[in-house]
């Protein structure tokens, strides 16, 4: 397993950790908002699964703006 931690210019408030398991990637988005939300994305070859999407509008916009998703 390779862990890549990314803080991109597209993410103003939170951060994204990406865990590469070879056959799939596991993305962890930490919103760093007042609720300290954490969202999860499992990225496979042909599909994505999201869990625990952000609650606040600004975090949702940030969550979906990440260019790697």
Q: Which of 50, 49, 28 is nearest to 37 (CA)?
A: 28
Classified as helix, coil or strand, 25 is strand
Tell me what the pLDDT averaged over the chain comes to: 77
- Residue 64 token pair: 């979906």
To the question of pTM greater than 0.85 for the whole model, the response is: no
Query: Within the chain, which residues score under 70 in pLDDT?
Result: 1, 5-10, 55-69
Q: What is the pLDDT at residue 4?
A: 74
């Amino acid at each position: 397993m390779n862990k890549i931690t990314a803080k991109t210019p597209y993410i103003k408030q939170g951060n994204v950790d990406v865990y590469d398991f070879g056959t799939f990637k596991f993305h962890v988005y930490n919103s760093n908002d007042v609720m300290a939300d954490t969202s999860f994305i499992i990225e496979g070859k042909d599909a994505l699964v999201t869990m625990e999407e952000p609650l606040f509008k600004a975090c949702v916009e940030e969550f979906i703006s990440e260019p790697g998703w």
